[in-house]
Amino acid sequence: MAVKVTSGAIATLVGQSLRGRTVEVCGLLLGRGELIERALPCANVHPDPARHFELDPAALIAAHKAARMGGPEVLGYFHSHPTGLAEPSAEDQACASGDGRIWAILAGMEIGWWRDAPDGFEQVRIAAVEALRAAAAPPAPPC
């Protein structure tokens, strides 16, 4: 079964990847069930953003709080590999938790879609959809 992703979320990911040519960009994938409605860019607070990423903890906490209040759920994360491939790096593998969340890994115009599975990352199929449900969802917190 394919994970559905709105065309708007895909456009945001491509734009972020092109913006982050020298540093890793990162953010959250928000939605409901198996539908990613929005990609929310967040600050990369890692001390070496050219080679690593760390989501702004305040943004992550705010997104989980908004989800508890009826907003979109945190379905996963995205980050870029400015000089790498659109697949999990050794460091990504080491940080994996097996929580089932989706990771979108950006490399130039390419987006690799992965699920953080208990036995390591598994590539997932995606289906682009128009944002029909996203308009009715409560807004996500800003990063």
pLDDT, one tens digit per residue, over 38-90 is: 999 999 999 999 999 999 999 999 999 999 999 999 999 999 999 899 999 99
CA 139/CA 99 separation, integer angstroms: 25
At 112, the pLDDT band (50, 70, 90 cuts) reads very high
Mean pLDDT, residues 91-105: 93
pLDDT of residue 88: 96
- Please state the pTM of the whole predicted model: 0.89
Mean pLDDT, residues 88-98: 92
24 is catalytic: yes
φ/ψ of residue 142, rounded to 5: -75, 155
Catalytic residue among 24, 87, 122, 130: 24
Domains of the chain: 3-136 (3.40.140.10)
Q: What is the DSSP string of 60-94?
A: HHHHHHHHHTTS-EEEEEEEE-TTS-SS--HHHHH
pLDDT exceeds 80 at position 1: no
The terminus-to-terminus CA distance of the chain in angstroms comes to: 31
pLDDT of residue 139: 53
